[in-house]
Amino acid sequence: MSKLDDAAAKMIANLEAKTGRSLDEWIAIAELSGLQKHNEIIKFLKSEHGLTHGYANLVSLKTREKSQPATTLSLVDQQYAKKEGLRPIYDALVSAIEKFGDDVELAPKKAYVSLRRNKQFGLIQPSTKTRVDVGLNLAGMDTTDRLERSGSFNSMVSHRVRITSMDEVDDELMGWLYQAYQQG
């Protein structure tokens, strides 16, 4: 079980104690709202039911998993199915990024995971069998040997860092990610 799975399991276990309703009850409420989009469900649960962002995000993800055949978790699993050696890099990045604040949102897509706050501040993409690319939105930031312009990698970010080992998930990279998060 990954650290992300552990965190979700703890949140599910605490949900009823904190809110008075079980996950299944919250999913039923979200489904009755008729809302389909992730952020719409989050806003509804926060404004109408007073859930914190973390719990609203969890309920929205679980509601959408239930109603959609391709689940959020399966999208990440699919990305790393033939790139198993890169999954620890992804898990380490997510674990560190989630500590930035409870407003961090992970939005898995088919080929990458979007990192969002108010808007996308970065992304994590297993680009090859041996490399994970971390895309960053860093307005006005100069490039370095390691921090390069995104170029044709992804037009949704301004910069990219290529990661081939766990050693490269370091303070320098996390500093850039945190700076992008703060701008996001």
Reported as a single tens digit per residue, the pLDDT across 29-64 is 999 998 888 889 999 999 999 999 889 988 988 888
Contact by Cβ (8 Å): 133, 100: no
Neighbouring C-alpha atoms within 13 Å toward the C-beta of 67: 16
Confidence of residue 133 (pLDDT cuts 50, 70, 90): very high
State the DSSP string of 103-140: T-EEEE-SS-EEEESSSEEEEEEEEETTEEEEEE--TT
- For position 134, what pLDDT does the model report? 98
- For position 68, what pLDDT does the model report? 62
pTM: 0.62
Q: Averaged over 108-112, what is the pLDDT?
A: 90
| 159 φ, ψ (degrees, to nearest 5) | -135, 165
State what percent of residues in the chain have pLDDT above 70. 93
74 pLDDT above the threshold of 80: no
Give me the helices (H) in the chain, please.
Answer: 3-19, 23-33, 38-49, 53-67, 72-80, 87-97, 171-183
- For position 33, what pLDDT does the model report? 92
Domain ranges of the chain: 3-67, 75-183
139 pLDDT above the threshold of 70: yes
Position with higher pLDDT, 78 vs 3 = 78
Which of 17-21, 62-66, 67-71, 168-172 comes out lowest in average pLDDT? Answer: 67-71
- For position 118, what pLDDT does the model report? 85
Q: How far apart are CA 157 and CA 138, in angstroms?
A: 8
- For position 62, what pLDDT does the model report? 87
- Candidates 24, 21, 14; CA nearest to 50 is 21
72 pLDDT above the threshold of 70: no
Contact by Cβ (8 Å): 178, 120: no
* CA dist 169 → 92, 115, 172 (Å): 7, 16, 8
Contact by Cβ (8 Å): 135, 154: yes
